[in-house]
Every structure is written in structure tokens, then in C-alpha cells.
Amino acid sequence: MVAGTRCLLALLLPQVLLGGAAGLVPELGRRKFAAASSGRPSSQPSDEVLSEFELRLLSMFGLKQRPTPSRDAVVPPYMLDLYRRHSGQPGSPAPDHRLERAASRANTVRSFHHE
């Protein structure tokens, strides 16, 4: 609980101190989102807006470029099954409705591989 509170504080503190200037979404992107929510038609985000958003997100995580996963990386089959079930891909088993409510609130899945 304390770690979650600290993470939330770390995300909100720059917003408060810098008055929203530290947002992930560039100003141009905010204007386009505002136009879309007001009912006016808008086109797909431009490559410029997307690349600026990507750069801000990477810098937030301390990266200079997109990470490239190792070719030796192995995704465990149970993680693929979980992904397919959650995304509703055809051929995947139907989700258990008792667990669906709890899973809809989750935003992170971690897997640890031990040899």
C-alpha cells in the first residue's frame, strides 16, 4: 500500500509543481483530444504527435530509444493463454464470469520464470 501511494505521489507531484506542463500528452495532442471529445470530427493522430508522445514516455522511464527484446526471450504458454483469454481472441476459452470482475480492474500481470 505504501509503495502504491509513493508511485501515485511521484506521478502527481510533477503535475502539481509544474502546473500540467509535465504531462505525457503534448499540447497539440491535448487539443486534438479536446476537439474529439467535443463532438467535432478529427483525423488520426499525426506521426509528429505520436513520436513526441513516445519520446516523452521513453524519457519518463529513463530510456533514449525503444527497447529491443532478446531473440532468446520465451513467453510462457500460460501467459499467452492469459493474453488470448483476456483479449477475447477467437478459439480461446470463455472467461470465468466470477473472475471477470476482478480481472477488469487489474492493469498489470507479472510472470517470473525459474529454471
pLDDT digits 0-9 by tens, 46-81: 888 888 999 999 999 899 888 888 888 888 888 888
pTM of the predicted model as reported, rounded to 2 decimal places: 0.36
Q: Is residue 84 part of a domain?
A: no
The 10 Å CB-count burial string (b at 16+, else e) for 57-77 is eeeeeeeeeeeeeeeeeeeee
Total domain count, the chain? 1
Q: Is residue 39 part of a domain?
A: yes
CA nearest 50: which of 33, 68, 69? 33
Q: Is residue 47 part of a domain?
A: yes
Q: Is residue 94 part of a domain?
A: no
CA 56/CA 44 separation, integer angstroms: 19
pLDDT at position 91 is 72
pLDDT at position 33 is 60
Q: Is residue 98 part of a domain?
A: no
What backbone torsions phi and psi does residue 79 show, to the nearest 5 degrees?
-70, -40
What backbone torsions phi and psi does residue 35 show, to the nearest 5 degrees?
-65, -40
Q: How far is CA 89 from CA 17, 81, 93, 97, 110, in A?
A: 43, 10, 9, 16, 21
Q: Is residue 61 part of a domain?
A: yes
Average pLDDT for the chain: 72
Q: Residue 100 CB: number of other CB atoms within 10 A?
A: 11
Q: What percent of the chain has pLDDT over 70?
A: 47
| Least confident window among 31-35, 69-73, 87-91 | 31-35
Cβ 82 vs Cβ 76: under 8 Å: no
21 vs 57, which has greater pLDDT? 57
Q: Is residue 101 part of a domain?
A: no
Q: Is residue 37 part of a domain?
A: yes
> For residue 33, what are the domain limits?
23-66
